Amino acid sequence: MLLNLILFQQEAAPAAAESAKEAAKEGFNAGETIIEHVSNSSHEHPLLHLPHVFGIDFSVTKHVFMMWLVAAILFVVITWTVRRYLKQEQRLPTGLMNGLEAVVEFIRDSIALPNFGAKWVMTWTPLLLTLFFFILGANAIGLIPIFDVVAVLDHFVLHTGPESIFKQIIHGGTTATANFNVTAALATITFIAIIIAGAKAHGFVKHWKNIVPHGLHPLIYIILIPIEIMGMFVRPFALTMRLAANMTGGHIAILAILSFVFLFAEKLGGAAVGMGVGALVSVPMAAAISGLEIIVVLVQAYVFTLLTAVFIGMAIHAHH
């Protein structure tokens, strides 16, 4: 908690440095600052220019970079842990492997097994684990204000040039999953997995016939089929928006409370008022909401995984 407070004061500091320059021109624009801290870095100035392929711009923006970072961290940590465990003479899980095994067993036994049944649990658990760890990692890394520390370091210590990687990398938010394009990609994975699961379990044609229940009066099908097809698309859309909006909302709340420091300093004159408001109101409240945000991070990863499992299970066990 103390580290959180220290890091938050460091998060406020570069915003202060930046807005000190702008205060000379136009004052503190809270809305603009908040939106800039949550959304992606600018598309015209990406971190790494890559060519357009079939009309799609593959340049690396902040969120793409964060996704790669999360993937790299997860890959290194998990592979290293499991390899070290497998090389032992007697397979005793210790330390990180113990925790990893507990999480994997929790997902397999309480999410995968009740929804898939024993026959399909080993087929689909890897997908659930991937989704869970990636979403958890991408959510959690947004809570660590490492790039604000980099900005402070760069501004006060390093003084790199205007085009350096330090100056470019601090724009934009760190939470990749706050971007609804990223969560839409994850929901597309779920959408395709549902179709593949139904096709594997019943055959491709029968999966589509299973979308509506059998043995009803023919006239009902006229309404039922469009509703079920709409449902097929609405569920991944809800997954997308749920994850993106939860992540964005938490960060906006924290940033808005921290903005009080600058708003009060501007309206009531003087940095002392701003610091007083900060110390008494902003930093404690922002720290408390960050604690809540940790819970939300865990819960949203769990809910995405659980709903994916439920939908895939519904496709597998479609013969009511």
Partner 1 sequence: MGVLHYFGAAIGLGLIVIGAGLGIGKFAAAAAEGIARQPSAADKITGAVNLPLFLLEGVAILAEVFVLLIVLMK
Which of 210, 248 has the CB closer to partner 1? Answer: 248
Using rule CB under 8 A, residue 246 touches partner 1: yes
Which of 14, 313 has the CB closer to partner 1? Answer: 313
Judge contact between 247 and 180, C-beta under 8 A.
no
Nearest Cα neighbor of 141 from 197, 72, 79 is 72
Judge contact between 264 and 274, C-beta under 8 A.
yes
Least distance to partner 1, CB of residue 274, Å: 27
Subset of residues 297 to 316 that bind partner 1, contact rule: CB under 8 A = 299, 303, 306-307, 310
Using rule CB under 8 A, residue 232 touches partner 1: no
> Near partner 1 by CB under 8 A, which window of 19-27, 60-68, 241-249, 271-279?
241-249
Give CA 17 to chain center in angstroms. Answer: 28
Subset of residues 90 to 129 that bind partner 1, contact rule: CB under 8 A = 110
Using rule CB under 8 A, residue 160 touches partner 1: no
Using rule CB under 8 A, residue 254 touches partner 1: no
Rounded to a whole number, what is the largest CA-CA distance in the chain?
75
Nearest Cα neighbor of 228 from 207, 216, 213, 211 is 211
Nearest Cα neighbor of 236 from 153, 131, 122, 80 is 131
Q: How many CB atoms lie within 10 A of CB 251?
A: 21
Least distance to partner 1, CB of residue 316, Å: 17
Q: Site residues (CB under 8 A) for partner 1?
A: 110, 238, 241-242, 245-246, 249, 299, 303, 306-307, 310
